[in-house]
Amino acid sequence: MTTADSLKTSRRTRPSERESEGSALNVSGLRGVNQVTAAFEAQRLAFARNRVTSLEERRANLLTLQRLIERNRSLLVEAAHSDFGTRASFETELSEIVGTVSTIRFMRRRLRKWMAPRRRAASIWFKPAKNRVEPSPRGVVGVVSPWNFPVHLALIPAATALAAGNRVMLKLSEFTPATSSVIMRLVAENFDPDVFFVTDGGTDVAVAFTQLPFDHLFFTGSTEVGKTVARSAAGSLTPVTLELGGKSPVLVDHDYPIEAAATAVAWAKLYNGGQVCISPDYVLVPRGKEREFAEATIRAARTLYPTVAGNGEYTSIINQSNYDRLRGYVAAAQDASEEVLSAEDWELGRDRRQFPLTVIINPPADSRVMTEEIFGPVLPVIGYDSDDAAATTINARSIPLAFYLLAKEKRRQRAWLDRIPSGSAVVNDLMIGYLQNDLPFGGRGGSGMGAYHAREGFDTFSHLRPVVYQKPILGRTGVQMLYPPYSPVASLLLKIMRRT
């Protein structure tokens, strides 16, 4: 079945009747900003009543979310296709369904270990004290998700916050109304709003949402909007995690086969129509190999997608403004007489916003295509004369979210990784770093702050509280020997401390 009627949550996974009734009274019948504000107040009160949820409750919430996705798989795939105009169903299944369920399943299996207190060493001077770091829920967590993966990038941070024992409010993108509508309905039918609340709405709702005094705010989107979100959160001193984007480079080392590099880049650049935050943004190849690499990439693209226009497996650009922006990059390069290669005449797929892979060779460093995040199938290819020149080209820009290195020698791999800072890195492949359930994911500088996925994601949405357990012996603790009035024994101990 693909209807939510088959997904009614069992009684044991829900809060008490008293909590449910209170949240319904506060939220029901309201819309927009008023509904968001009421939902926040309901969640804050619910958290005050029940600050620590059990392992069983958290696992039950994750299982509810997992089954919600699994049993409504076809509905979610169809909604994403409707939002994009053309969305490759295989890519939706892989990224939105399989990828999301796999991550939730991974969290469920490891949750007991993540929740357990973590031992820390205690100084000899304070023995027999024992030190622990104990994860506790932050409270009410806000999540703002983007449009490019409207299921996965919404539900994974939300699921991680639920795993950490928080109440969660999720703001979906208004650019994917069909998918947002499905998610809102399914969550409303399976979770009480004081546990997990979902809304969409336009700019007014987004602004009001980010100004709420959450206990943590998680945002995925562009760097410029991320700055605005951070400023909004600063007003209430809300800690933020920002998953942004930027210009993730590919560096092809001198010994790496051009054909193999081109095939990997073509796949990664065309996945989801290039609308991926970790999509390769530009490629650096040894000077003199630019044209060879560009032609090999175009051949690889044509092998992957013999036709673009009308191809149901080739994802469209999300809307006309983004399509026009991409076309503007290409038009500017053509007007400047730069070398441009395309896998297909872009006019053929214009009505469905299916943009073919287009390579621009050696565009100027100050051109828009080299200063803005591309987020589509336009690929600058740039030649470098030396290792120093390549490193300078990359490091002159904001720290990228991902760095892709194609190099065969281990010594060279280590040298490049040491020279190029990035949020994450993949050696001899592209984009698969994000798919590793046991690795954290996050940016640095202009590509974001903080991380999620794996245990680090659980920690992001937890307060890691240090706790000291002291055990007096005969009614006294060791530190009491340092109490005033200071005795000769205290002076001797202080003298020993200076040497240890």
Active site residues: 243, 277
Percent composition of the chain: helix, strand, coil (DSSP 3-state, to 5): 50, 15, 35
Per-residue b/e over 118-129, b at no fewer than 16 CB within 10 Å? Answer: eeeebeeeeeeb
Which candidate, 389, 308, 407, places its Cα nearest to that of 356?
A: 308
E strands, 84-238, where?
Answer: 118-120, 130-137, 140-144, 167-171, 196-199, 216-220
**Backbone region of residue 466 per phi and psi (left: phi > 0; alpha: psi in -120 to 50; beta: other values):** beta
CB 269, CB 261: distance < 8 Å: no
Q: List the one residue out of 304, 324, 322 whose CA is nearest residue 314.
A: 304
- The residues near 405 (Cβ < 8 Å, ≥ 6 apart) are 250, 251, 253, 413, 416, 417, 420, 425, 426, 427, 428
Residue 485: is the preceding peptide bond cis (ω within 30°)? yes
Q: Which of 452, 455, 430, 456 is nearest to 441 (CA)?
A: 452
- Dihedrals phi, psi of 250, to nearest 5 degrees: -115, 130
Contact between 140 and 43 under an 8 Å Cβ cutoff? The reply is yes
CA distance 84 to 72: 19
Asked if 66 contacts 99 with a C-beta cutoff of 8 angstroms, the reply is no
Residue 78 tokens read as 């169809």
**Residues 172, 182 contacting (CB under 8 angstroms):** no
**Cα 39 to Cα 191: distance, rounded to the nearest angstrom:** 13
Handedness of CA 477, 478, 480, 485 (dihedral sign): positive
274 burial (CB, 10 Å; 0-12 / 13-18 / 19+) is buried
Nearest to 99 by CA among 272, 348, 330: 272
